[in-house]
Amino acid sequence: MAHYRFNRHQLFSPENTTEVMNIIRTVEDIAIDNDSYMDGAYGELTNMLYGMFDGYLYDNVLTTAAGIAKLPIEVCKRIEAIVDMIVLHILAQGQSETVVY
């Protein structure tokens, strides 16, 4: 599992931060409903999503999301929108690091 670095403070608006947090909550709720809280792919996906707050984009976040049968396509599309934004930023600006305070 490879990852790419980006400066979250430079890229994310407050709305982007809220969206990632809302996606995490949605994934966790679905996992709880399926008695899989933090197990297997659900735990792996939430970890990758939390990684975005530290400026990490994992290269398999979309395939992990798509591999969860009970995850609605709408959630995958929301993840894809965030990933696309990050990838475009990395392509334009190069990799960078998020300063953690």
Cβ 98 vs Cβ 54: under 8 Å: yes
Q: Is 21 helix (H, G, I), strand (E, B) or coil?
A: helix
Place of tokens 């305070």: 101
- How far is Cα 79 from Cα 22, in angstroms, rounded to an integer? 11
Domain boundaries, the chain: 3-93
What confidence category does residue 78 fall into, taking pLDDT thresholds of 50, 70 and 90? very high
Residue-level pLDDT at 62: 97
Place of tokens 């790419």: 4
Q: What is the mean pLDDT of residues 69-79?
A: 96
- How far is Cα 26 from Cα 91, in angstroms, rounded to an integer? 29
Residue-level pLDDT at 71: 93
Q: What is the mean pLDDT of residues 20-42?
A: 90
Q: How far is CA 74 from the centre of its chain?
A: 14
Residue-level pLDDT at 100: 67
